[in-house]
């Protein structure tokens, strides 16, 4: 599994857990994610690349079951501090509008994703399934090498989305970096609809 994807998945879990504890996200909302698409957006020589990613079904129901498989590689060890710059945009009247960083969600700069991973999964604790079963890392450092997540099922819980994350078309870009150098870049596009 590509370390950026792993960081993105775990980082999303961190944000969900953090917001749930703060009361920003509440259980009870049903939503669908449609038209999920992704691509690498970095330089061809970036050390971290996502090679494959498949998710099903389309639409993805929240709550519901998500089936995913992924592969990727990093030619360098990913260790603290790892920065992550996220740009989140929503399509409004045919134009893409940047969503500001609100309560650590949106277009935000995260100084050290490794610290966030440690908060979610404390050092010494096993990685959650199915990462643990496949020997995939869930915290820093992530050694250089190739990673693969075979087709696996994930249960997506019910959550109430923040008030500003409403129905519509979204695109996000995440740039992973260290010491001012880009390690990788990933773009994701999707549509979100409450049901």
Q: Over 90: is that where the pLDDT of 37 sits?
A: yes
Q: What is the pLDDT of residue 134?
A: 92
Q: What is the pLDDT of residue 11?
A: 40
Q: Over 80: is that where the pLDDT of 42 sits?
A: yes
Q: Over 80: is that where the pLDDT of 61 sits?
A: yes
pLDDT in tens, 149-165: 999 999 988 877 777 77
pTM, rounded to two decimals: 0.82
More confidently predicted of 99 and 163: 99
Q: Average pLDDT in the 28-32 region? A: 76
With a CB cutoff of 8 Å and minimum separation 6, the contacts of 82 are 7, 112, 113, 114, 140, 176, 177, 178, 183
Structural domains for the chain: 3-82+111-166 (2.70.220.10)
| Chain centre distance of CA 139 | 14
Q: Over 80: is that where the pLDDT of 114 sits?
A: yes
pLDDT confidence bin for 17, thresholds 50/70/90: very low
Q: Average pLDDT in the 165-182 region? A: 93
Among 168, 172, 164, CA closest to 194 = 168
DSSP strand E in 11-166: where? 31-40, 48-56, 60-62, 64-74, 83-92, 95-98, 109-110, 145-156
- Cβ atoms within 10 Å of 190's Cβ, excluding its own: 20
| Local structure of 60: helix, strand or coil | strand
Residue 22: phi and psi, rounded to 5, are -85, -10
């Amino acid at each position: 599994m590509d370390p950026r994807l792993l960081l993105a998945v775990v980082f999303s879990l961190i944000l969900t857990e953090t917001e749930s504890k703060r009361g920003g996200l509440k259980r009870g909302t049903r939503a669908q994610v449609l038209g999920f698409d992704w691509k690498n957006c970095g330089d061809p020589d970036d050390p971290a690349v996502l090679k494959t990613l498949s998710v099903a079904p389309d639409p993805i129901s929240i709550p519901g079951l998500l089936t995913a498989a992924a592969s990727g590689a990093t030619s360098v060890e990913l260790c603290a501090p790892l920065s992550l710059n996220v740009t989140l945009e929503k399509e409004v009247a045919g134009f893409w509008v940047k969503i500001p960083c609100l309560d650590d969600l949106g277009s935000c700069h995260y100084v050290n994703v490794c610290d966030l991973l440690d908060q979610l999964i404390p050092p010494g604790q096993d990685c959650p399934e199915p990462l643990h079963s496949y020997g995939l890392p869930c915290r820093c450092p992530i050694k250089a090498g190739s990673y693969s997540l075979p087709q696996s099922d994930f249960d997506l819980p019910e959550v109430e989305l923040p008030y500003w994350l409403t129905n519509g078309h979204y695109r996000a870009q995440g740039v992973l970096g260290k010491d001012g150098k880009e390690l990788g870049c990933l773009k994701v596009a999707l549509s979100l609809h409450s049901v």
